[in-house]
Structure 1
Amino acid sequence: MAYWLFKSEPSTWSWDQQVAKGDSGEEWDGVRNYQARNFMRQMHVGDRGFFYHSQKDKAIVGIVEVCAQAHPDSTTDDERWECVDIKAVRPFVAPVTLDQIKADERLSEMVLVKNSRLSVQPVTGSEWAVICNLGQTLAD
């Protein structure tokens, strides 16, 4: 299993909206960055991800699971753009803020710290464990 991070502005797509989609999940559409798209092409059903609220919250608020592999993005006719579908798994007991992540030396190499603008990014297994621990949330 691989781990990922999905960033969304809560005013555009929030954790509560993701949860409301239930087990059918929702397309992670609208991504127009080649690197982020390529990461989605690497994802497999069952991979887990952090759901990150960007803008003012700047915090990981929950765990999602990839429930459909990369397919054409339904929001465009441009065949270059693909997306995966994700479903909510569980919320974090305690959201983990970007400030907490930046302050933790164990996370100093995390893509979120080095390239905070990338909307879809990989997370290592050790980063996953540290953040789940900080968020008082089961890592499985």
Structure 2
Amino acid sequence: MNYWLMKSEPDDVSIDDLAARSDQTVGWYGVRNYQARNFMRDQMQLGDVVFFYHSSCKEPGIAGLATVCRPAYPDPTQFDTASEYFDAKSTLDKPRWLQVDVCFVQKTRLLSLSELRSHPELAQMMLLQKGSRLSITPVSAADAAFILAKLC
């Protein structure tokens, strides 16, 4: 099993939005970074744990848990000319962008970015590295265990 930190702006999709959906599932659309796309394509597996992270908001941090419940498939927003994620170079035969589906597990207390930074045990976590801006990052098993202990 792998662990992932996946960022979402809560104005777009929050952990509460995910919990309120009838099937409690959302496609992780709009990823337009090749490294993040490759994580979804090459490494994410069904059942992987997702730390659902609220970003670009007043208090960023881990707000809940989810799991990967559908493996990578073409992101439909790349073909939608009305979408901010439209990509004219992407075709149905050769889609450039992928998404996975994630399913709600639970809302947690907010484990803020500042709290994450306060723990030296997490110093190597990709999220906390200078210049790290990826929307999807792997989380080591040791970091995941530490975070889960703080959330529960």
Q: Return the TM-score normalized by structure 1.
A: 0.91
2:18–2:24 CA contact under 8 A, matched in 1: no
1:22–1:87 CA contact under 8 A, matched in 2: no
Q: Are residues 1:4 and 2:20 paired? A: no
Counterpart of 2:27 in structure 1 is 27
CA radius of gyration, larger in: 2
Note the C-alpha offset of 1:39.
0.8
Note the C-alpha offset of 1:106.
0.5
1:25–1:85 CA contact under 8 A, matched in 2: yes
Note the C-alpha offset of 1:74.
1.2
Q: Are residues 1:85 and 2:112 paired? A: no
Q: Are residues 1:38 and 2:35 paired? A: no
Counterpart of 2:147 in structure 1 is 131
**Secondary structure of the equivalent of 2:30?**
coil
Aligned pairs, how many? 135
Amino acid at match of 2:27: E
1:22–1:88 CA contact under 8 A, matched in 2: no
Indicate the larger mover: 14-23 or 48-57: 14-23
Amino-acid identity (%): 44
Amino acid at match of 1:35: Q
Q: Which runs of 5+ in 2 are unaligned?
A: 80-89
Note the C-alpha offset of 1:24.
5.5
Q: Return the TM-score normalized by structure 2.
A: 0.84
Runs of 4+ in 1 over 2 A off after TM superposition: 21-24
